[in-house]
Chains A and B, each alone.
Chain A
């Protein structure tokens, strides 16, 4: 019984994640974007905890704490600091207008579900739909990275993708081995730092974080 309850919880959280992904896709303001990202982390933590509780796998608790620290607290904080230091409070321009993006996103979700169903059929774990949702949100974050014109949202999109992957790892399977999760977390952290450093360099060199400035290297 508890299993089914927890599975319902996890599915709920999964749906919430998907919603968040769409929200990020639609979001125009950087600060809100970061908030959404933090929320995503929180949802991830929650689902991980539920999984840990349901399956009683110890290392999932660790990874939950890791997620909490890293993705709910540390990285959002870093991003906040960054945009404070860089004084970037502008709205985000997108390459394609938002509604079109949303439509594409919905298409992606359907595609991802269609792709994931045969696999979910055989999923022995207590969460069937989650794999499809994870894949969908991965693709959505990808889409977000494509359509954003500024550097910071792109990076947030990348981190969101990382989140979705984590979600896939924890919900579809019983979580990756701890050593792997640690390694991935380390990479993400270092990556974020490096991104941060890059923001400053780019700002210094190009007087803006608009990646449209960075189209010099090409074949002519």
Chain B
């Protein structure tokens, strides 16, 4: 029931917003739909917490602690982003960068995007998951190219080609998976269902599965933005509208990673040895280090934070690659805090860029004087994403580091160096933007900064105290993964 609501409302919203066109109240409707989705997701979460995992619609959908927490997160960030994009898009319109048609496209695509996200997470069928991921790509491609500037078109084109090709590899992986599963389960729909696959995972053919995992990793890894498959990510983040950057970083990457992790669990079960874990650790580490060194050269603020997303995804991938309950726990926590923090940062960045009319960091100065809320938001968000205690990012990174130190000591120097370089780079660039002299003009619409501080507050809370049920929930998910 809740599943139907969670899936139905974004879809409905998307169609509705596409049909009615851009009315004055379209942003509100957008936010409202997201709100309903959030409420439904909350209900679903409660349900799962009380009743435990469940499946629905002859097992086409299923919910377990792992994906329900991502669903809740997705719904939440989706809602806050909708709130943020309300004034943001109005201001863009006011600046004449967008017209009614584009806004119509934006709103409907926004809803469809969140629909695909939720579908990915809830679907029990790998094929459907693939379809949803591809759908998400299509939706976001349109969103990225919303401004129709040469730059945005180029970014969207790269995003489209790279991700479609990557996803195609993933499809091949899925076919191989199906090929292997067929032997055990027999032909028919059920042999693509996660639940059934898990049930028989130790009977699946190892060679096929390892091959399949390579394809799946390359495929979904492209969407996660793992180096060296990451090249689309900075462009897409930098050139799309900021709310899109926020959801890309906050949701899409998580969901892609979710797919990778699910396949990892499956393959590990089949192979016995930690083949997939090694691959993921390698990719994660590479991403962390490379992204960290990219950071120090950035001039465009959104681009910089895009690279930071790569870095953090690398950390999470590394954590899941290490496996074990603690690492998995850390990975889940880091997923949560990263998507909250990063989207919060993008909110503030969005308004900052609107104020200054540029994304060039050299031209953004003295935010804290002009609009203390934005300035503080950016400063705190940056500190949080850099893993300053007491924010939640610190907790998760600390867990990851300690586990790595304990189980894979060779990896810790790389992680530490990368984190250090990232810190120096980002902090050195953000500090003058927040402080320093400036002369800025007022925005035509009051910026929406409540989401920023809500996010940061939650991240802070997670850093100081994780509610027991949340812990329990992470534990179950971690137990399932590790």
Contacts and interface: CB of A to CB of B under 8 A. Distances in A.
A138 B166 CA distance: 12
Contacts of A134: 172
A176 B178 contact: yes
B128 A183 contact: yes
Contacts of B467: none
A119 B205 CA distance: 9
B155 to A, nearest CB: 6
Nearest to B297: A219
Contacts of B171: 165, 184
A187 B178 contact: no
Contacts of B131: 180, 183-184, 186-187
A124 B184 CA distance: 11
Contacts, number: 128
Contacts of B238: 217
Interface stretch (A12-20, A37-45, A201-209): A201-209
Interface in A167-220: 168-169, 172-174, 176-177, 179-180, 183-184, 186-187, 190-191, 194-195, 198, 201-202, 205-206, 211, 214-217, 219
B209 to A, nearest CB: 10
A142 B151 contact: no
Main secondary structure of the interface of A (DSSP, over half): helix
Q: Is chain B's interface secondary structure helix, strand, loop, or mixed overall?
A: helix
Contacts of B158: 214, 217
Given A180-B192, A191-B134, A135 B172 contact: yes
B189 A168 contact: no
Interface stretch (A61-69, A81-89, A95-103, A154-162): A154-162
A194 B138 contact: yes
A177 B127 contact: yes
B272 interface: no
A206 B154 CA distance: 10
Interface string A10-52: 0000000000000000000000000000000000000000000
Contacts of A1: none
Interface of A: 57, 115, 118-119, 122-124, 131, 134-135, 138, 142, 145, 151, 154, 158, 161-162, 165, 168-169, 172-174, 176-177, 179-180, 183-184, 186-187, 190-191, 194-195, 198, 201-202, 205-206, 211, 214-217, 219
